[in-house]
A and B are shown apart, each in its own frame.
Chain A
Amino acid sequence: MTNPFANLKPSRRHVLAAAAGGSALIGAPALLAGAAEAADPLTLLNVSYDPTRELYKEINAAYAAYWKSKTGQPITINQSHGGSGKQARSVIDGLQADVVTLALAADIDEIASRAKLLPANWQSRLPNNSTPYTSTIIFLVRKGNPWKIKDWPDLIKPGVGVITANPKTSGGARWSYLAAYAYGLKKGGEAYARDYITKLFKNVPVLDTGARGATTTFAQRRIGDVLLSWENEAYLTIDEFGPNFEIVYPSSSILAEPPVALVDKNVDRHKTRKLAEGYLNFLYSPIAQDIIGKHHFRPTNAQAAAKYASSFKQIPLVTVNDTFGGWTKAQATHFADGGVFDKIYKPS
């Protein structure tokens, strides 16, 4: 269970603001938050998803140093991490995020459409569809790869235990699901893909609610034979547990594009627009792009991409837009109540 406030250092403004968001009944804390704002040093809250914890820690320090050298102002950047959908819901319910950096565009779309905190065209405001880095889904297997898992067809062999999180609650698991489904589509069209994904989830013994939980189940509980994992999480697991695991690149996967966005209404309220815009632009800078590559995400900046090219295997990656007609459609078809994912578990 990840608490969205877990990594939040207690800046007074944000604690109060979050309290106000949590207790919509009581108006007083919101007023207090406004009063405290003027006296506080500049702070920024980045609400992000699970696997970026270490990445943003380093980027935040770099940006704070950069801002100080430019303006002489000290700044504090707070970060909050959790499942992407849960984080989006917290922002909708009043968590005072200045910027959101989530696992998929659909979650930021929800913030735009439900709480109207940012315009609907948010994704066109920054380069590359507001995606400063990309990633993909790969396999993590146990040492020696006892089941000889090389590619997607191996996941539906009888007896293979596949670990992935619940796509309904985890952004990373949604990418995993779509990567598997895209393989099925390419191999044999819609009917084949449905059959394939059904067989795959029949091999899933435990459904965690988040990507980190699934990694724990696989790495520490030693459940299952293969983990469908964020590329960076797979490398992180290797860094952490060393030789117990091996990374396997399938023949194809999906281009995961975790987008970032400014939360307009919140930055205007906090008077942090300039700082927040600078922060998001900084993510595209050579310094940040280098940090991104170091943390096993795929940089979009050509120079950094070239530098880290050798650390990622280049495999064909399909996009959600080309294969699934965009996130809104993919969400409605596959993950909504009664969608394809629910049908997998229909007793037949």
Chain B
Amino acid sequence: MSDLTSPMSLAGAGGARRPRLSRWREPSILPGFGLSIGVTLAYLGLIVVLPLIALAVRPWEIGLSGIWRTLTEDRVAAALELSFSLSAYAALVNAPRGVLIAWVLVRYEFPGRRLLDALVDLPFALPTAVAGIALTAIYAPNGPLGSLAAQVGIKTAYSPLGIFIALVFIGLPFVVRALEPVMQDLDREVEEAAQTLGASDLQRVAHVILPTLAPALISGVTMAFARAVGEYGSVVFIAGNMPLKTEIAPLLIVIKLEQYNYAAAAAVGLAMVVISFGALILINTVQLLLARRGRR
């Protein structure tokens, strides 16, 4: 793949750039740009920006040193590391599984396909607490899967592995649902053209299908990651919540709140937002580069 990447991205960087002016007020035949952008900004401001500002203002009560002290506490640092690393692993593990499941659901016709399709949505629809309790019941040392794992000496529930399982569970639909529409639109003729030009099956997957899916896959994985970082309901049941070992960052926020330590709770929350936002920007940039490459 690397032999293809470099010339393409170079060409993409030069070719896709358009005059700056046309970015603002895209010409459109539909009227109402002013009104709709106004409503959009007001709505986003009220629903998204205002709470974020409230969150960003709160920690300063304890000052920069207070925030730093909070974030470098052993427990806070360990919880942040645990939350972000496990969320990333879970999202990455969901990527190949999500591609496979979406592929099966889109490309093949078989009895029960619609049922299977609906099942994918279940982690979306299930209240997270219910998911957490169900997963715990299965993976607890006395549960059907947990007892099997225990026999070979693997601890599932009440360990980081348990948290990972819960995060994989809740993240899966994001990846599948992001991929499905793109897969449905995949032009079969392009694949057939590749085949007539002598591409092997592997080459078709690697050079035709996967590059087309990449932006959707990345956005699905990103959403799964973002969701996993903030996930609370299902994880607290299966985590065991041991300080420094299986305490996730959202739980630590709740613990700080229980102690009426609003500022410290907001500091942890702010740190999570900043890290998540940084990750999202990074991923969006990668996606943009890929999209440009795709456009050429």
Interface residues of A (CB under 8 A from B): 1, 83, 85-86, 89, 92, 110, 114, 166, 168-169, 204-209, 220-223, 335-337, 342, 345-347
Contacts and interface: CB of A to CB of B under 8 A. Distances in A.
A215 to B, nearest CB: 14
B279 interface: no
Contacts of A204: 242
Contacts of B158: 205-206, 223
27 contacts: A1-B236, A85-B258, A85-B259, A89-B257, A89-B260, A166-B241, A169-B255, A206-B240, A206-B241, A207-B240, A207-B243, A209-B236, A209-B251, A209-B255, A221-B136, A221-B140, A222-B140, A223-B140, A223-B158, A336-B259, A337-B73, A342-B75, A342-B243, A345-B75, A346-B74, A347-B74, A347-B244
B136 A345 contact: no
From A114, A207, A342, name the one whose CB has the most chain B CB atoms within 10 angstroms: A207
Contacts of B260: 89, 92, 110, 114
B242 A206 contact: yes
Contacts of B236: 1, 209
Contacts of B136: 221
A233 B254 CA distance: 24
B176 interface: no
Of all A-B residue pairs in the complex, the 6 with the closest CB atoms, nearest first, are A345-B243, A85-B258, A206-B240, A221-B140, A222-B142, A207-B241
Interface of B: 73-75, 129, 136-137, 140-142, 157-158, 233, 236, 240-244, 251, 254-261, 264
A168 B244 contact: no
A333 B73 CA distance: 18
B30 to A, nearest CB: 34
Contact of B141 (A89, A222, A345): A222
B128 to A, nearest CB: 9
A113 B73 CA distance: 27
A204 B240 CA distance: 10
Contacts of A335: 259
A90 B220 CA distance: 36
B258 A1 contact: no
B233 A1 contact: yes
Contacts of B257: 89
A242 B152 CA distance: 33
B259 A168 contact: yes
B183 to A, nearest CB: 37
A206 B142 CA distance: 15
B258 A89 contact: yes
Contacts of B142: 221-222
Nearest to B51: A25
Contacts of B157: 221
Contacts of B243: 207, 342, 345
Given A205-B240, A223-B158, A169 B140 contact: no
